[in-house]
Structure 1
């Protein structure tokens, strides 16, 4: 039984979320709390598997409460955020501070239509219950690669290269440990799919750009891809890449969701599998489900491609990388802290 603490300053929202959870046979709400201070007191008195934590609350907000939780005995926290620019920025901060994932309220702090995301709430609580959490370290550091993490010796020899990255649950924090360690003159364009709704991907891109040497932005339809720039798929849209003459052109489309996702990593990877003349590097980081596995397999089957998956040891949720490792027969399985050095030293500069 998954034991949940529901934290929200709205009594209505506490009851609505609690009713969703208590309606399931495998989870229960042990307690509710009206703000961060109240939540910390409740956490001292009982053991919980997951906390759903509202961001905007009086006395102690969700971000401050999250920091206190992660300082002590960390446990999986799902942030509950409004679909606003400010809410998105706060959510990205929460991801950096150690939250596993987030749920976006459809219509503000008191969402009468929360039932629209009921299935997402329950799905993410189940995923969070099995997630790995640890005390937050704010500085990304380089570390020597562990040879035992290598499961292959593949390399690419093409002069021109493309890097593509897929991530879901735990992805914002994982990207923060990879992208800031890539140099400004990184010799490839970078395409990223992070499962997020609109508004949130723009805030993510802005935050990552602020702490990185490479340029990071939300992708725009029709722009020419450049080396040393990372393009993040806009929430609610697919990101694809096509070759036009000697240039790579970014495509942003609103076609149907794939694997339940839009953006979908498979859509990005499949588009890259049709581009000849480049050495492809596909990376699948932490996340729920199996998005990206089929596309990564096609990249390997059709082009010169190295497939890298994050290890079970460091993945917040070892779903997407596990399926990709098995289905695409990934060449390397690496701990998160090793991936940036691997990209810099073993792939891009060969």
Structure 2
């Protein structure tokens, strides 16, 4: 049985979430709490396997509560958030502070239609119950990058000293916001390549993710916009609900956002879709990074990149992954060049840029 503690300031939400989770025979709701202080009093008594934690609460909010749980207990936490400016901002901060995943309330703090996310909630609780939180996951990332210098690779197939275009791509899912801070905060501000990121998230959260990463990095980080030219030293995060594809027009690389193509394996944005688009750009060097996440997104796209273009592939090792799904699937193709813990990914990226 997976023992769950539900924390929410709404009695209605506590009851409905309890009913939704209890509908699965492998899950038992061992208790509920009305705020963070109440939850921290009950955690040592109830010893839950997973905690669902409301973001916006009086007395002691979700973020404050999470930081205590992360500091004192190795219990996976799933944030339950409303899609408000405050809610999305705090959710992203929580994900980067140690929360495993989050559930978005469909219609505000008190969502009468919360049953719409029942399957997602149950699935995420089951995944969280199997997570072994790495020791390094509790550590706060540095707020400034290492003093590394990146350079373009020279194109030895062309005459003279002409420079090839390069692009860095990162795909991740569960546990990704924390891993992204670890990687992007360590990349140098004079990075001679653009970075494009696909993080599995719904609409409303990716902008807050980009803003949070921007504060923690010396690179410029923003949510990608359709039709914009991508520049070296910038990080572009795929908006939730849109596939991010890269096209080439003359000498420029352009963002193309696709809202029409259905989700790939349940995801939009999809890492595969980003990689498929990049595999068409024969004259662009790629560094493809696949980090923590459930499922196999990115594997087929990586095979396409490796078959059709010059690509260096980096996968996060099992030792630091929150969920070793996406990296394991990529590694199984035998097309991955480097397998390293998350703390070493930035340095490997820079190494391959030299």
Partner of 2:246: 241
Do the aligned residues in 1 keep the contact of 2:173 with 2:199 (CA within 8 Å)? Answer: yes
Alignment of 1:226 with 2:231, yes or no, is: yes
**CA offset at residue 197 of structure 1?**
1.2
Deviations 1:79-123 (A, max 9, x none): 000011111000011112110111110101110001111111111
Q: In 1, Cα distance between the equivalents of 2:42 and 2:335?
A: 45
Q: In 1, Cα distance between the equivalents of 2:76 and 2:139?
A: 16
- SS of the counterpart of 2:207? helix
**RMSD between aligned residues:** 1.5
- SS of the counterpart of 1:248? strand
Q: In 1, Cα distance between the equivalents of 2:76 and 2:334?
A: 30
Do the aligned residues in 1 keep the contact of 2:145 with 2:217 (CA within 8 Å)? Answer: no
Deviations 1:198-257 (A, max 9, x none): 121001111111121111110000111111111100011110001111111110110211
- SS of the counterpart of 2:52? strand
Do the aligned residues in 1 keep the contact of 2:145 with 2:218 (CA within 8 Å)? Answer: no
- SS of the counterpart of 1:121? helix
Do the aligned residues in 1 keep the contact of 2:196 with 2:237 (CA within 8 Å)? Answer: yes
Deviations 1:260-307 (A, max 9, x none): 011111110110011011111100010111111110111011101111
**CA offset at residue 136 of structure 1?**
2.4
Alignment of 1:339 with 2:345, yes or no, is: yes
Q: TM-score, normalised by structure 1?
A: 0.93
Partner of 1:213: 218
Q: In 2, Cα distance between the equivalents of 1:142 and 1:231?
A: 18
- Ranges in structure 2 where 5+ consecutive residues have no aligned partner: 147-152, 156-163
- Which structure exhibits the higher relative contact order, with contacts defined as CA atoms closer than 8 Å and separated by 6 or more residues? 1
Do the aligned residues in 2 keep the contact of 1:241 with 1:250 (CA within 8 Å)? Answer: yes
Q: How does 1:1-350 map to 2 (within 5 A)?
A: 1-133=1-133, 134=135, 136-140=138-142, 158=155, 159-255=164-260, 256-327=262-333, 329-344=335-350, 346-349=351-354
Report the CA distance shift for 1:79/1:87 in structure 2 as closer, same or farther (over 3 A).
same
Q: In 2, Cα distance between the equivalents of 1:328 and 1:124?
A: 29
Q: In 1, Cα distance between the equivalents of 2:125 and 2:326?
A: 17
**CA offset at residue 132 of structure 1?**
2.8
Q: TM-score, normalised by structure 2?
A: 0.92
Aligned length: 336
- SS of the counterpart of 1:307? strand
- SS of the counterpart of 1:341? helix
Q: In 1, Cα distance between the equivalents of 2:49 and 2:319?
A: 20
**CA offset at residue 171 of structure 1?**
0.4
